[in-house]
Structure 1
Amino acid sequence: MVTLAEVAKHAGVSASTVSYVLSGKRSISASTRERVERSIDDLGYHPNAGARALASSKTNIIALMMPLRTDMYVPVMMEIAIAVATAARAHGYDILLLTGEEGPAAVRRIEGSALADAMILMDVELDDERLPLVRGAERPVALIGLPGDPTDLTCVDLDFTATGALCVEYLANLGHRELAVIGEAPGVYERHTGFAERTLSGVRSRARELGVRALHRPCLGGYPAMAGTLARIFDERPGTTGFIVQNEAAVEPLLNLLRQQGRAVPEDVSVVAICPDQVATQASVRLTSVAIPAQEMGRRTVERIVAKLEGRGRPEVQLLEPELTVRASSGPAPI
């Protein structure tokens, strides 16, 4: 890799002169500047993030904190991350991806270094332990997710409370009075992860309003766990005819187990999923679903961060309205 010293030697100037040309902090004659810039082009020199930070206090890098947990559906997380990276690149920024479960330590590491100009946090919990540091951070921060108290924070998310309510309302309008929510893995609720807790809140609130009974059971996903969860649901609520699934790993096991039990979808049982469109359309029965708008979430979050970096941003919460797409997995409740 070409160094700053090699550029200086090629241009016949000092290393400090090259640094001043790059930073613009001192006036350099036009002829010297042209000679240095020609050497930079000829040698293919690219200053590293540390050099850029020292020269201009700007790295053109945004840190994306995305803990990869075994009980979360990673493809959705990666789709959001790719959307963030694509949108950031369009604005001239690169992404520094942090995937470890460091919590506040990761925020401190970015805040106390010249690694990035701003931070985006994913996997937000209702009482996220990173929030006190975020509120006091000098660098702009945005959250993909909604904590319990979003005061003074910039957040972008699907409106999961409205999502849960929409699923209940749709099934209730079809005549279903006994619903079961097959949720994420137990650990997701133990951490009080925002999207899961808010979906459940929306389900329960709307079910009460409509006089519908809704049972919630977390599930690890996979056939053994789904078999146990389904058996428990029908043991406790044998009249269940509507399922709301917020667990991508449980979708296909649920459909297959219902089939094995002789329960036809949607004639006997209706299934509505909260999942990416790809999961819904590729299931063995095309699923009625509320999509996770990963592209839109990533794009809007980057726009909010860039606005903050340019001095135009202010704390705000943007919740995307859920849209339910009817497919083959739902129908009127059996008579």
Structure 2
Amino acid sequence: MVTIADVARHAGVAASTVSYVLSGKRSISPDTRERVQRSVRALGYRPNASARALASQRSNVIALVIPLRTGMHVPVMMQFATAIVTTARRFDHDVLLLTADEGPDGLERVTQSALVDALLVMDIELHDERVPVLRELPMPSVLIGYPDDADGLTCIDLDFAAAGALCVDHLADLGHRSLALLGTPSAVYERQTGFAQRTLTGFTEAAARRGVLGVETPCEHTFDAILQTVEQLLHDHPDLTGLVVQNEPIIGPLLDVLRRLGRRVPEDMSLVAICADDVAERQLPHLSSVTIPAEQIGEQAVESLITKLSGGVVQDLTLVPPELTARGSSAPHVDRSTA
């Protein structure tokens, strides 16, 4: 069985240093802490959880706060949750999943319960009422997403404003001059959820910068709502040739709707989605897309939280640059009126 002494020899440090890294009782330099953590992973060291919790007065549990509210796409949230749980186990921590929307009161209740050592909070709004409480809680926290006022917080997210702009630039580079953003359900915009608002901002500003028409509309998840939304868009903007989709559940039905309305993808309508790669690659044609890096963000969020628990310093705001993969759903615009 691997012991602390084995980890210490492997990392080239004293056994007490390994203990301090694992317990968080003392501040350890980032380089030493990372060396010890690499040795823990390499040797497969598993400390006695009960003894460690007793000695450190910690539970070795992280609370993951995901309020499952109207308009949220649960499979995407579960991708983040899976990455968070997997990474937390690497650091010998468990995850307590909290899905009820209790707002600030829920955060205070969890903190006072002594069930958890730290908080990971998702579904962040621009003016999130939980932010003042998070600043005051005597417990480390990391937000996946970020509010307008992020001072004093640790936040990580995809750069959704850049993602919206990247989609516009891709379609504009292909010659498309009339674009629409099919966004999240109305409830998500009404809550001013950060990722949706920032994508809209990036889309709108990029359309103005490129001198193209850029219109946006929320879209509900039912087939009838998708059909009605697209019919209205095409009625109001008959020259529309490019769609940006930030609403993963509607992607499959949307392709059916476009076929029903006689719009071929990509010949008549180019389409770019902000979604997971596996979703984009399941469609016919395969979708050009900006991926949602759930695994990367979840892993980085946990690592930041563990660093804070160990007394280390982390970056206040981390924005992951978007990456667009061009596939079969986007093609150069052809002006069929003169063809």
TM-score scaled to structure 2, two decimals?
A: 0.82
RMSD: 1.7
Give the Å deviation of 1:72.
1.0
Q: Which residue of 1 aligns with 2:330?
A: 330
Q: Which residue of 2 aligns with 1:102?
A: 102
Distance 1:222 1:168 in 2: 26
Structure 1's 73 and 323: CA in aligned 2 closer, same or farther, altered over 3 A? same
Q: Which residue of 1 aligns with 2:318?
A: 318
Give the Å deviation of 1:250.
1.2
Runs of 4 or more, structure 1, over 6 Å off, are 51-55
Question: SS state of the match for residue 112, structure 1?
Answer: helix
1:177 correspondence with 2:177: yes
Q: Which residue of 2 aligns with 1:222?
A: 222
1:13-162 matches, within 5 Å, as 47=50, 56-162=56-162
* Cα-to-partner distance string for 1:62-121 (whole Å, 9 max, x where unaligned): 100011224111111001001001001101111011011111122111221211000000
* Cα-to-partner distance string for 1:50-69 (whole Å, 9 max, x where unaligned): x9867642110110001122
Give the Å deviation of 1:130.
0.5
Residues 165, 206 of structure 2: 8 Å contact kept? yes
Q: Which amino acid aligns with 1:184?
A: T
* Cα-to-partner distance string for 1:135-187 (whole Å, 9 max, x where unaligned): 11110000011211211110110000000000000100101110011000000
Residues 70, 188 of structure 2: 8 Å contact kept? no
Question: SS state of the match for residue 133, structure 2?
Answer: helix
Residues 255, 285 of structure 1: 8 Å contact kept? no
1:262-273 matches, within 5 Å, as 262-273=262-273
Q: Which residue of 1 aligns with 2:27?
A: none
Q: Which residue of 2 aligns with 1:195?
A: 195
Structure 1's 133 and 54: CA in aligned 2 closer, same or farther, altered over 3 A? farther
Give the Å deviation of 1:240.
0.4
Distance 1:53 1:134 in 2: 24
Give the Å deviation of 1:123.
0.5
Give the number of aligned pairs: 289
Residues 73, 248 of structure 1: 8 Å contact kept? yes
Q: Identity percentage over the alignment?
A: 49
- Asked which structure has the greater CA Rg, the reply is 1
Q: Which residue of 2 aligns with 1:248?
A: 248
Distance 1:208 1:56 in 2: 55
Question: SS state of the match for residue 279, structure 2?
Answer: helix
Distance 1:313 1:134 in 2: 17
Q: Which moved more, 1:158-167 or 1:145-154?
A: 145-154
Distance 2:119 2:229 in 1: 38
Q: Which amino acid aligns with 2:174?
A: L
Residues 164, 199 of structure 1: 8 Å contact kept? yes
Q: Which amino acid aligns with 2:231?
A: A
Distance 1:113 1:52 in 2: 19
Distance 1:46 1:323 in 2: 40
Q: Which amino acid aligns with 2:188?
A: V
Give the Å deviation of 1:133.
0.4
Distance 1:254 1:65 in 2: 31
Give the Å deviation of 1:333.
1.1
Residues 178, 214 of structure 2: 8 Å contact kept? yes
* Cα-to-partner distance string for 1:282-321 (whole Å, 9 max, x where unaligned): 1132100000000000000001000100000245111101
Give the Å deviation of 1:222.
2.6
- Unpaired runs of 5+ residues, structure 1, are 1-22, 24-44
Q: Which amino acid aligns with 2:113?
A: S
Question: SS state of the match for residue 161, structure 1?
Answer: helix
Structure 1's 61 and 312: CA in aligned 2 closer, same or farther, altered over 3 A? same
- Unpaired runs of 5+ residues, structure 2, are 1-22, 24-47
Distance 1:251 1:113 in 2: 42
